[in-house]
Amino acid sequence: MTSRIDTLTLPSGRVISRATANAAADWLTLLMSGEAGDEQQHQWRQWRQAHVDHEAAWQHVEAVTGRMKSLERAPAYAALSSVGASGQPSSVARRRATRMLLWGGIATGVGLLVSRTGTWQASMADHRTGTGERRDVTLDDGTRLTLNTDSAVNLRFDANQRRILLVAGEIMIATRHGPGRTDPRPLRVATAEGSIRSLGTRFTVRQRAERTSVAVLESAVEVSPWAGSGSARVLHAGEQTQFSRDAIEPPRSADEHADAWARGQLVADEQRLDDFLAELDRYRPGVLRVDPRIAGLRLSGVFPLADTDRILATLPSVLPVRVQRRTRFWATVVPAN
């Protein structure tokens, strides 16, 4: 009989052996060391394909490394980023640190990743996406819900209401139109800062750090902060805003490419390089950085989100930059010379 000590339960509910979990962490240590050759890459892929538990463990690894970008000053992040050359006695400590980082939150209830990323809430949501994934969902009332990368929602539909709870990330809502398609129940999107009521429309909502962003593509919505009594505001097509729990910023013209992500595109229009890479970073597991010396360079273009490595490979052809890669999980854009 396998004891609880020898197993771990993933956020998805799947139970895997601790040996499998440790093997996944050791593969990450090797891959991030930059010393994995073609044969080791092949062995890693074979390991993933050898058993469904191996793939499940690796998916958890990618989910955690995809969220590490927001933990740059945390000790856990420092432990992962210190993974470098292998073959020295310190490699043992690196493997141990990586194992604790990837599995400590599951095994011991460490709250660092949970409090900063909402990992567990998102993993238990009614609908969710991983890093780089997008998904369309048709709700019971015919409303079309599109989830962007690393997003999660819960649904609360009953006889009196239609409520979408945005747990993390970004969504686009498109309600039904046409004769006989009016639903008397109000449709609302709830975030950490307030509520957005649909007035028969298409709009996007993004959960940011202590802010919610809303862009209206068609018709109108009504925005109501939780603590802003009497401060509800109606946004019309072509307008966008951000709001906190207390107040709503004045509306401004919506970005005409606000829904480009739903079409699998990342659009830049004379955008700063650091801002562009910050957006691209949302769709990639691991770490993506930019040298401050070139952060202010600007670029324009339409880039396919289906292949973020290809986007990075394109940058040197349009800007005086090059991409330094430590591993598939770690890339830095630096000056060309």
Residues 12 and 116 grouped into a single domain: yes
Residues 9 and 111 grouped into a single domain: yes
Nearest to 151 by CA among 140, 166, 136, 173: 166
Residues 115 and 131 grouped into a single domain: no
pLDDT greater than 70 at residue 68: no
Query: pLDDT digit string (tens) for 31-61?
Result: 776 667 788 888 888 999 999 889 888 888 7
Residues 31 and 93 grouped into a single domain: yes
User: Is 258 a domain residue?
Assistant: no
Which of 121, 144, 162 is where one domain is finished?
121
Residues 116 and 133 grouped into a single domain: no
pLDDT greater than 90 at residue 268: yes
Domain that includes residue 306, residue range: 264-335
User: Is 136 a domain residue?
Assistant: yes
Q: How confident is the model over 119-147, as a mean pLDDT?
A: 85
Residues 35 and 131 grouped into a single domain: no
What is the residue-averaged pLDDT of the chain?
82
pLDDT greater than 70 at residue 131: yes
Q: How confident is the model over 148-173, as a mean pLDDT?
A: 93
Which of 66, 100, 121 is where one domain is finished?
121
Q: How confident is the model over 259-277, as a mean pLDDT?
A: 96
Query: pLDDT digit string (tens) for 303-320?
Result: 999 999 999 999 999 999
H or E stretch covering 33: helix 18-33
- Among the residue ranges 97-111, 148-162, 194-208, 279-293, the one predicted with the least confidence is 97-111
Q: What is this structure's pTM?
A: 0.67
d(CA 120, CA 111): 10
Residue 212 or 109, more confident: 212
User: Is 301 a domain residue?
Assistant: yes
Residues 81 and 40 grouped into a single domain: yes
pLDDT value, residue 317: 95
pLDDT greater than 50 at residue 81: no
Q: Which residues contact 5 (CB under 8 A, 6 or more apart)?
A: 18
pLDDT greater than 60 at residue 238: yes
Residue 1 or 49, more confident: 49
User: Is 182 a domain residue?
Assistant: yes
Residues 195 and 221 grouped into a single domain: yes
Residues 117 and 62 grouped into a single domain: yes
Which of 57, 91, 121 is where one domain is finished?
121
Q: Provide the percentage of residues in the chain whose pLDDT is more than 70.
A: 76
User: Is 133 a domain residue?
Assistant: yes
The total domain count for the chain is: 3
Nearest to 33 by CA among 79, 84, 81, 80: 84
Using an 8 Å Cβ cutoff, are 29 and 138 in contact?
no
pLDDT value, residue 137: 96
d(CA 119, CA 326): 26
Reported confidence tier of residue 121, pLDDT bands at 50, 70, 90: low
Residues 183 and 209 grouped into a single domain: yes
User: Is 259 a domain residue?
Assistant: no
Query: pLDDT digit string (tens) for 218-237?
Result: 999 999 999 876 689 999 99
Residues 294 and 327 grouped into a single domain: yes
User: Is 141 a domain residue?
Assistant: yes
User: Which CATH number does the domain housing residue 320 bear?
Assistant: 3.55.50.30
Residues 101 and 192 grouped into a single domain: no
User: Is 176 a domain residue?
Assistant: yes
